[in-house]
Structure 1
Amino acid sequence: MTVKADVVSPGMLTTVQDWPGRVGYWHVGVPPSGPMDDLSFRIGNRLLGNPEGTAGLECTRSGPVLRFPDGARVCVTGAPVPVSVDGSPAPQWQSISIAPGATLEVGAVTGPGMRCYVLFAGGLIEPEYLDSTATFTMATFGGHDGRALRAGDDLTLGIDPGPHELRQDRAARAAIDEQPSIGHRWELAVTEGPHGAPEFFTRADIDTLLRTDYTVHFNSDRTGVRLEGPKPQWARTDGGEAGLHPSNIHDTAYCVGALDFTGDTPILLGPDGPSLGGFVCPVTVVSGDRWKLGQMAPGDAVRFVPVRADRAPSPHTLDIGRRASFPLVISSGSDHDDGVLARFATRDGTDVTLRRAGDGGVLVEYGQMVLDLAMRARVHVLYEELRARGIDGITELTPGVRSLQVQFDSSAVSIGDITELLAGIDESLPATDELVVPSRTVALPLSWDDPSTHEAIQRYIHGVRADAPWCPWNIEFIRRINGLDDVEAVHDVVYQAEYLVLGLGDVYLGAPVATPLDPRHRLVTTKYNPARTWTPENAVGIGGAYMCIYGMEGPGGYQFVGRTTQVWNHRHPGDARAFEPGTPWLLRYFDRISFYPVSAAKLVELRADMAAGRGDVAITDGTFSMSEYLGFLEREADPIAAFRRQQATAFAAERQAWDNAGEFTRQLAS
């Protein structure tokens, strides 16, 4: 018999989640989602006799009112919150039997904490999207119609597994010492890396980071917890081709729990955070402590505690009761290696750096901190080799511009094993100068200087920062920092360029990070500092030497040039002609993107057609040959060098103007 729950009132933000969420799609910009406080979520399921990953509800700030026509068993966990059944108080952290026709009311979280969880015996039954029912509201997929619950929704419950005992001598409830410790001051266990001192931050910066209480900013959500604290001194003056600010790097994969410095602003990336981006991350919260991000409230204090990666507990194997009872001190000290696991050179002399990316990830970087497509070719060779081997324990492989992030299950394989594998496998890889890969030509419409980008800039000016050097017009800033004569020159370069796709998921959902094949078309800019809080879906921007098409609405930092059509098919499994069946992302690695001009009004029509499944994109098959490309660079070496000298002069002049204006020493407003 189907059991229902009627949503009388949804609460402030209540979504369906499961654990561990949507795993296996990090490389195309799909975050795992899932419960932000997975510890509370998993304990609740265990108390009901469900598997730990069974779908339930996450409630932010306040919970729902639910009516159960046929009765049910539920468990409410997470932050302290008033719970009642038909007006009578009911406990948290234990199984509650609800009679047929009764109503469960979960009230407001008044502190400490931010989120509570409602779990159901048998779980919630919702359709899966990319192998999970977890809700990703920003992309409108997963969960209950891809959104938060609304009054009038009907939820379907699974079959109750029957009464469950946590231990033989006690009823299905969690003792106090088994519940997560939720307060207003947090200590987060972190590992060093991937981007530490002395390359990116000064030693003093890292000392400050580990000895300072940071404050949780009100502008925090499931994408990340924004913090307020000291501004770094930085070990570099700028990010070179990656951008003018020293936080800028060539795009690389992030991991959940990374402390991401977007300019001078530190953000702890959450389960709905981006998979790829161009900012440094000095430390990463270990996987066993990430549940705390879900309970951090505005004004809470946060202190980072360094731990050794090989002693960090895995949430997959650690007993949940122990994880709750010992939430802070996992080990003392740190790895004392600045996040660098190994350095070596390949047979042809290419430098390789293996960096720690939390307790479950390794970042492989090739070459120097410059844009070199030969290094991206080397990344691709390693990526294909690891995919072909199908190594047990490796869960995600995410290419960046000059890097490959390898995520693994630390309960199945150790970080030492992964490091040894990566150091040894490079010796067996084929040469990259003869690499030939499939490379389609993809023609996309571009509404130049689209009105939606003007709206985003105005929101930024009025809501984030009014005195930014790139405001009020990003295109004029691009002209100035590249030493071009007028904005028409920017227009001409963008439409003449052919952009090679180096990564997908640059700010979500198959969004490409791409660079012009011809270096004379590589307009170099810096990224917003701090980042925007809103970017229109499919805006086209330039950051560092890269072009990005934003896969969906959300935060961002690239300088706008216009807007195009969708690069993600929300009508998955595939009724839009440009998308392969079962594959909602349009682009592939090494695709070549070119733009053709359309008016803003025409783009509205094209976007409507694409959203309705009627749209199409002109795609032509082809190949990319590394040897042919190296030949092109050699033939055009002199004019390319002349362009770069002009560009470097303008870049230096802009940097000096920023220095004179105090841009590098200013304290950003919170």
Structure 2
Amino acid sequence: MHQQPIRYTFGGDEHLFAEVSESMSLPAFFRSLGMVKAIEKENISGILDICLANASFQVRFNPDEILPNDLLAIVKSLESSSLQEGQLDTRIVEIPVLYNDPWTYETLMRFRDRHQDPDSTDMEYAARINGHADTEAFIKAHSGSPWFVSMVGFVSGLPFMFQMVDQEHQIEVPKYLSPRTDTPKQTLGHGGCFGCIYSVRGAGGYQMFGVTPAPIYDPEQALSYLKESMVFFRAGDIVKFKPINRDEYDQMLIEVEKGLFTLKTQPFVFDLATYLANPDQYKKDMMEVLYVD
């Protein structure tokens, strides 16, 4: 497969930005991941941090320890030797979602003056512009295919997710015309072709489709699946959304408050070549792994 050249630019005195691709794709993500791992393996003096993104990465460095052009030369030299095997030790995660919940509905109604279509809800708008008959059909499309976490950031613990479907069936919606000043915690959002889960309450511009009862960021680390890290998601996670009703949501919230709630996860080795060869069968196999006891 032909790979386009990586585009490098400097940001200020301390950052080297590498654009692997102009658009998000799993091959672009894996190439970015391979470069990050190759740079980390070199243990280059002067590098302070490396941040992986959807189809790019950024290196923060100390210019007093390594000259910018010297760092650029080293990073460029790693392009041919970086990890390219396309395999990733990861996990599949089931996230329960109450679609069309009352809290995001109340919020979106407060901000209709900032929306493209003030006369419909966010989900009604998204369903219409994506060619779905109604919101039920939209929910089926949204939850019917797994999502790939390509980066975590913007605010603590927020995952950006790319739906694992062909481009023709990709859900795409614009962000609000101007951002809201409020978004409920654990809102399921979508902007462009990316989905996300708002880890904390705050401002936001993504369309809102529902909420999950599952905390994904907690500095107190009260739940068992957050003991290892206060941030749950990692780049490379594969997410399956499970629609739930209000009774199920309320019961899960009780379990969260008691410290008993947990998320269904399964370890998984994702193989890019096998996925690209037969995406539908590979996704089916992945979901069967999730529900193996």
TM range (shorter): 0.7 to 0.9
The offset of 1:591, in angstroms, is: 1.2
- Equivalent residue, structure 2, for 1:283: none
Q: State the one-letter code of the partner of 1:383.
A: V
Specify which of 540, 543, 550 is matched with residue 198 of structure 2: 550
Q: Per the alignment, in what secondary structure is the counterpart of residue 143 of structure 2?
A: helix
The answer for the alignment partner of 2:182 in structure 1 is 534
List aligned pairs for 1:634-653, cutoff 5 A: none
Q: Which runs of 5+ in 2 are unaligned?
A: 283-293
Larger RCO (CA within 8 A; separation ≥ 6): 2
- Using the TM superposition, give the Cα deviation of residue 415 of structure 1 relative to its aligned residue in structure 2, in angstroms: 2.4
Q: For 1:548, what is the secondary structure of its paired residue?
A: strand
> For 1:476-555, what aligned pairs fall within 5 Å after superposition?
476-505=124-153, 507-519=154-166, 521-555=169-203
Is residue 443 from structure 1 mapped to residue 94 from structure 2 by the alignment?
A: yes
What SS does structure 2 have at the residue aligned with 1:547?
strand
Corresponding residue of 1:424 = 77
Work out whether 1:353 is the aligned partner of 2:4. Answer: no
Matches within 5 A, 1:283-322: none
Task: Give me the whole-angstrom Cα distance separating, in 2, the residues matched to 1:621 and 1:588.
Answer: 13
* Residues 418 and 479 (structure 1), Cα distance of their counterparts in 2 relative to 1, 3 Å cut: same
User: Does residue 37 of structure 2 align to residue 384 of structure 1?
Assistant: yes
Which of 242, 254, 268 aligns to 1:596? It is 242
Rounded Cα–Cα distance in structure 1 between residues aligned with 2:281 and 2:187 = 34
1:538, distance to aligned residue in structure 2 (A): 0.8
Query: What's the secondary structure of 1:359's corresponding residue?
Result: coil
Q: Secondary structure at the match of 1:441?
A: strand
Aligned counterparts of 2:60 and 2:258: Cα–Cα separation in 1: 36
Please report how far the alpha carbon of residue 353 of structure 1 lies from its aligned counterpart in structure 2 after TM superposition: 0.7
Identity of aligned residues (%): 23
Q: TM-score, normalised by structure 1?
A: 0.40
Matched, 1:622 2:255: no
Letter in 2 for 1:446: V
- Cα-to-partner distance string for 1:284-326 (whole Å, 9 max, x where unaligned): xxxxxxxxxxxxxxxxxxxxxxxxxxxxxxxxxxxxxxxxxxx
Q: Which residue of 1 aligns with 2:288?
A: none
Q: Which amino acid aligns with 1:501?
A: V
Partner of 1:613: 259
Alignment map for 1:229-244 (pairs within 5 Å): none
Give runs of aligned pairs for residues 328-407 of structure 1, distance below 5 A. Answer: 348-367=2-21, 369-407=22-60
Q: Structure 2 counterpart of 1:357, which letter? A: G
Q: Within 5 A, what are the aligned runs for 1:648-659?
A: none
Give the distance between the partners of 2:255 and 2:9, measured in 1 at CA.
Answer: 44
- The AA in structure 1 aligned to 2:99 is W
Partners of 1:632 and 1:365 lie apart in 2 by 28
How much does 1:580 deviate? 4.2
What's the counterpart of residue 266 of structure 1?
Answer: none
Q: Distance in 1 between matches of 2:182 and 2:26?
A: 31
Alpha-carbon shift at residue 352 of structure 1 (Å): 1.1
Pair 1:569-2:218 in alignment: yes
Give the deviation of 1:588 after TM superposition.
1.9
Counterpart code for 2:52? P
Deviation of 1:604 after TM superposition, in Å, equals 4.1
Partner of 1:16: none
Task: Determine the C-alpha separation between the residues in 1 that align with 2:264 and 2:281.
Answer: 30
Offset of residue 634 of structure 1 = 10
Contact 1:494 1:521 in 2 (8 A): no
The structure with the larger Rg is 1
In the alignment, structure 1 segments of 5+ residues that lack a partner are: 1-346, 637-670
1:632-656: CA deviation from partner (whole Å, max 9, x where unpaired): 25999xxxxxxxxxxxxxxxxxxxx
Cα offset, 1:559, TM superposition? 1.0
- Residue 470 of structure 1 and its aligned partner are, at CA, apart by 4.1
Q: Is the 1:542–1:548 Cα contact (8 Å) retained in structure 2?
A: yes
Code of the aligned partner of 1:487: T
* C-alpha distance in 2 between matches for 1:530 and 1:356: 30
Q: Secondary structure at the match of 1:606?
A: helix
Match of 1:593, as an amino acid? V
CA contact under 8 A between 2:114 and 2:178: conserved in structure 1? no
Question: Following TM superposition, by how much is the alpha carbon of 1:478 offset from its aligned partner in structure 2, in angstroms?
Answer: 0.8
Equivalent residues of 1:438, 1:621 under 8 A apart: yes
Shift of 1:618: 0.6
